[in-house]
Amino acid sequence: MGWRIAAGFGWCLWLLAIAASGAMNAFAGYGLGRSVVEGLVLASLSVAADGWKAMAPLYISMLVRRGSFGTVLFSSMIWLACFVYAVGSAIGFAGLNRAVTTGGRDSLRAAYTNTMNEMGEVRAQRAQSSEQRSSSELEETIKAALLTPVGGRGTVGSISDDCAQDNSRTRDACVAIARLRITLARANDVDRMRQRFAELEAESQRLSKAGGNAAGDPQEQLIAKLSGGWVKVGDVGLLLVLTLVAMVELISAFGPVVLGEFVRGHREPNGSSPIRDQNLGGRQVEGQLVGDVYEFLAKCVQPAPDESIAVNTLVKRYTVWCQDTGHAALGEHVFVSEFDRICSSDLEGRVKRLGFRVKGLRVLDSAYAPLSIPPRS
C-alpha cells in the first residue's frame, strides 16, 4: 500500500512539472506570434511539442521491450527535436522573466547611486563657496547703493541708468555695485545648490525606502560568495535559469519512465512483489496457477553457448507456454527478475542477460528438458 501512495504522490508532482513546463513553452511560443491568432497557433504547437517530450520516453521504452529498434530510432529523433525546442523555449521564457525582475532592481540601485553621487558633488561645491550673505540681503544693498544721491542732481541709478552708462560722477559707486552684483550671482548659485541638495536628499530617502541602497540581486551576491569566487556575480543569473530549466524539463521528460519502472517493480499478479516472494511457482491468479519460470526454462530452452536471443522473444515464448499449459503468465518485469535470479543461482552464471538479449540459450518449439536444471529441493 505504501508504494502506491508514493507512486501517486510522484505522479502528482510530475503533473505539476509538466504543467509548469507546458505553460513556460506556451508563453514563449505565444510571444513569437505577430498577432493574437499566430501567438495562439505557436503556443499550441509549443504545448504539443512539450507533450511529446514528456510521453515519448514511455513509447520508446515500450518499443525497446518489443524489439522494434527501427521505430525506436525515429521516435528518439522526434523526442530529441521536441526536447531541444522545449528547453530552448523554457530558457528564453525564464531568462526574460528574470531579466525583467532583476532589471527593475538594478535600475533602482543605479538611480540611487547617481543621486548619492550628485549629492556629493553639490556638497563639495557648497563647501568651496565662501559667501555667507543671502541673495535677498545683497539685492537690498544694491538697491540702496543705486538710490544714493549724487550732488543734488539725482541718484546713482538715475544718472548712470543703473550703472549701464559710464559717468564720472557715479563711476566709483558703480564699481562697488558691480562687485556687489558679482557677489549676488555667487549667492544665487549657493541658493540653487541648497535647493538642489534638498531635492536630492528627498529623492535619496525615497529610493532608499524602495530598496535602492540594497544589492541589485542579493541571491546573486550570496551564491557568488558561497561558491568562493568560482561563480561570478554576473554569471549567477544564467546559472539559475539553466538549473531551473534543467530541473523542470528533465522531470517532465523522464518522470513517467522513472515512475513507471517504480510501479512495475512493485507489481506482479495477485499484487505480491518478487522482492518479497521469490518462489513464484504455485501462486494463483483468478483461479489459475502462475506459470513457473523455473519449469518453463527446464522444458522450453536449450543451451547454446554461441547463440543469443532477445528478451522479448523469451517472454513471448513463456506467454505461449503458459497458454498451452493453462497457467497465468507473469508480467514481463517480474519474469525478467525471476529469470535473472535463476541464471545467477541455479545456472551458476552459465546463462547471462546482457541488456535486452540473453546469451547462451536457444528457444525450443518442442517440449523436452535439455537444460539440466537441478531439481528444486
Instruction: Give residue 236's domain range.
Output: 2-107+221-262
Cell numbers for 142: 544694491
**Is the residue at 272 inside a domain?**
no
Mean pLDDT of the chain: 75
**pLDDT tops 60 at residue 1:** no
Same domain, 165 and 300: no
**Is the residue at 368 inside a domain?**
no
Placement of cell 542579493 in the chain: 218
User: Which DSSP category does 155 fall into?
Assistant: B
**Is the residue at 376 inside a domain?**
no
Same domain, 307 and 258: no
- For residues 318 and 293, is the Cβ–Cβ distance under 8 A? yes
Give the residue-averaged pLDDT of 134-146.
85
**The pLDDT of residue 262:** 64
**How far is the first Cα of the chain from the last one, in angstroms, to the nearest whole number?**
33
Report the DSSP pairing between strands 357-363 and 288-289: unpaired
**Is the residue at 270 inside a domain?**
no
Same domain, 65 and 146: no
Task: Give the burial class of 249: count Cβ atoms within 10 A of its Cβ; 0-12 exposed, 13-18 middle, 19 or more buried.
Answer: buried
**The pLDDT of residue 272:** 38
User: Which DSSP category does 366 fall into?
Assistant: S
Same domain, 243 and 315: no
3-class state of residue 9 by DSSP:
helix
Residue 234 confidence class, pLDDT cut points 50, 70, 90: low
Give the residue-averaged pLDDT of 193-204.
86
**The pLDDT of residue 267:** 56
**Is the residue at 278 inside a domain?**
no
Same domain, 179 and 136: yes
Q: What is the DSSP string of 190-220?
A: HHHHHHHHHHHHHHHHHHHHTTTTS-S-HHH
- For residues 283 and 272, is the Cβ–Cβ distance under 8 A? yes
Greater confidence (230 vs 278) lies with: 230
Same domain, 202 and 241: no
Tell me how far apart the alpha carbons of residues 203 and 201 are, in angstroms, rounded to a whole number: 5
Tell me how far apart the alpha carbons of residues 296 and 364 are, in angstroms, rounded to a whole number: 11
Residue 197's alpha-carbon distances to 127, 191, 200, 208, 230, in angstroms, are 12, 10, 5, 16, 42
Give the residue-averaged pLDDT of 7-13.
80
**The pLDDT of residue 167:** 83
What's the domain count of the chain? 3
pLDDT digits (tens, 9 = 90+) for 163-187: 888 888 888 888 888 988 888 888 8
Residue 153 confidence class, pLDDT cut points 50, 70, 90: confident
Closest by Cα among 41, 38, 36, 51 to 85 = 51
3-class state of residue 107 by DSSP:
helix
